[in-house]
Amino acid sequence: MKAFNIHITGVGGQGIGLLSQALLRGIDHAGIKVIAVDTHGLAQRGGAVVSQIRCGDNIHSPLIMKNYADLVLGMEIHEAMRGLGTALRKGGTLVFLDVSWQPLPVRLGLKSALTSTDIQNACEAFGTTAIKVDTRSMEDTRMQNMALLGTIAKHGIIPGVSNKNYITALEDLLTGEMLSKNTAIFDAYAI
């Protein structure tokens, strides 16, 4: 399989670690070679957190060069815009949560908050696909990461990985009520 690069960006506390592991294990369960690297240092302070996953043949490093990601997952709208500018390749796909954790310059009134329209326009200008994931009706926002995973599955964005592979990955990582709640959200967005 040709190399496929995934860049996940968000803010500490959004479940990037679980999403990264679910993707990593789902790809592995599909029988595809996969490697990953995460940054966790700023997670406890609400800072930017990034995970990078590379899969396919002839992959030797988990690091993705600037603007080489085939898929960027933005777990927060400002981080999605950052991922678009620093990680996504032309022709790639940006899947993002329509959620704002307003960075400090926005809170101080130094910059305007971004909207999903800003993201859509930037993607159009850059020649990439944008998929907005609306989670406003979700009861437990801690599981927004599963909405992203379900959206990836629904659109078949990662070649060779099926819904069953993602569910098996979640079964590896979660048990009991947490497994049933997370898989229910995954299923709702994967349809």
Whether the per-residue pLDDT at 115 is higher than 80: the answer is yes
Q: Can you tell me the distance from the alpha carbon of 77 to that of 80, in angstroms, rounded to the nearest whole number?
A: 5
The pLDDT of residue 102? 72
CB 8 within 8 A of CB 51: yes
DSSP-derived secondary structure letter, 127:
T
Please count the other Cβ atoms lying within 10 Å of the Cβ belonging to residue 75. 27
Looking at residue 1, its pLDDT comes to 87
pLDDT tens by residue, 22-37? 999 999 999 999 999 9
Integer Cα distance of 166 and 29 in angstroms:
8
Q: Where are the domains of the chain?
A: 4-190
CATH of segment(s) 4-190: 3.40.920.10
Report the pLDDT value the prediction gives residue 105, as an integer from 0 to 100.
78
Strand partners, 133: 97
User: For residue 57, what pLDDT is reported?
Assistant: 94
- In the prediction, which pLDDT does 118 show? 96
Contact call for residues 30 and 162 (beta carbons, < 8 A): yes
* 172 vs 111: which has the higher pLDDT: 172
